[in-house]
Structure 1
Amino acid sequence: MKICEITGKVAQVGNNVSHSNKKTKRRFNPNLKTKRFWSEEEGRWITLKVSAAGMKTINKKGLSVALREAAAPRKVY
């Protein structure tokens, strides 16, 4: 299943709309990349499946903080 390990983004469902306005179901997959990150705390490489937004989050907050926040339960409103 395509899911970002940092942001939790998953595929969304929408419609293909033809020129005649006929609608058929399609999926919008997140922009996932398999990327290795160096963990200073553990002294090893960590391989994650992350979206582009997840990579920006890691660059901004740092790997250890992003992983800690990803493991925390998410609030659902």
Structure 2
Amino acid sequence: MSKVCEITGKKAITGNNVSHSKRRTKRKFNVNVQNRKFYWVEQQQWIKLTVSAAGLRLINRIGLDAALKKAAADGNLKEIKTIVK
């Protein structure tokens, strides 16, 4: 699983782990992503998305259809995995 949000495009960044003696070693700041299923009313189907916490808030704020259109316009959404029932 790639740790990239399909809605916002957030991904892991690198930085320094700083010890008490100020020694610096490289570390990674991962994104808080989860695999979630959403019901897409406009298409009458369930879809799977890997979204971050910020992506979930965006979907709650503007709606799933608008968030998917914004993600596709920004180039963050590669493909939508549909769930066939």
List per-residue Cα deviations over 1:28-67 (Å, max 9, x = no partner).
0111011111111111111100000000000111101000
Q: TM-score, normalised by structure 2?
A: 0.82
Runs of 4+ in 1 over 2 A off after TM superposition: none
Other-structure match for 2:82? none
For residues 29 and 46 of structure 2, what CA distance do their matches in structure 1 show? 30
Asked if residue 52 in structure 1 is aligned to residue 53 in structure 2, the reply is: yes
- In the TM superposition, residue 2 of structure 1 has moved relative to its aligned partner by 1.3
1:21 maps to which residue? 22
Q: Which runs of 5+ in 1 are unaligned?
A: none
Matched, 1:8 2:9: yes
1:7-45: CA deviation from partner (whole Å, max 9, x where unpaired):
000101111111111100000011101111111111111
| Partner amino acid, structure 2, of 1:69 | K
CA RMSD after TM alignment: 1.1
User: How much has 1:73 moved relative to structure 2?
Assistant: 3.3
Letter in 1 for 2:62: K
Which residue identity lines up with residue 68 of structure 1 in the other structure? K
DSSP-derived class of the 2:74 partner: coil
Q: TM-score normalised to the size of structure 1? A: 0.90
Query: What are structure 2's unaligned runs of at least 5 residues?
Result: 76-85
